[in-house]
Copies of this chain bind each other. A is one copy, B any other.
């Protein structure tokens, strides 16, 4: 069972776009050249229960989407980094909250592709379908984490991160231990212990809290099923 201690983010603010401003950005492409908005650490980009208006693309930084049960238990569904799209997880009403993990620059793309409309660009819709399908695949891959032991989860996470950040063997985690724990369904103490265990086994080095060095990637890959 996940931690009950997971805390809600400290900063809560409205998403930075007026409803009318970004109209038509999305009409011809999902990748228009529009100036991105900036978000501070822990700032909310959209919240659970809000209507879906945009999809988002990360220019720089890192974003998490999370769902919180009414007793405070928190599940992080995904982390998104530069180049990723997010905000596809709902059709009409957001069922999770998106927050900046680090200061981030994000483009909002108007999602003008509802079943009701008819004059929409077919290429845009196909692109949207593809993105949604990829998001579904990612979500399902993440679910498999819960089949695994604590150590396997942490190793899987490190490997996923080194791939996502396009670095190898040496990278900086954008997020803190609590975020990792809530992503993996563990407590922060367990995450900490597993990292220490891997470090003692010479599999990784942790020179600073955020920095990870994978000393033996083949062996790490062998540790996960």
Contact = CB atoms under 8 A, between A and B. Distances in A.
A181 interface: no
Query: Which of the four size classes fits the interface of chain A?
Result: 35 or more
A88 interface: yes
A85 to B, nearest CB: 13
A136 interface: yes
Contact of A134 (B69, B91, B143, B149): B91
Interface stretch (A22-30, A119-127, A197-205): A119-127
A137 B77 contact: no
A147 interface: yes
Nearest to A91: B133
Given A129-B128, A148-B1, A136 B139 contact: yes
B69 A1 contact: no
A162 interface: no
Interface string A93-132: 0011000000000000000010100101010011111101
A148 B74 CA distance: 11
Interface in A147-194: 147-149, 185
Contact of A147 (B75, B141, B148): B75
A133 B113 CA distance: 12
A137 B90 contact: yes
Contacts of A185: 146-147
B127 A125 contact: no
A147 B77 contact: no
A67 B144 contact: yes
A20 interface: no
Contacts of A88: 133, 136
Q: Which 9 A-B pairs have the closest CB atoms?
A: A91-B133, A69-B225, A129-B129, A2-B147, A136-B136, A146-B146, A73-B147, A132-B132, A139-B139
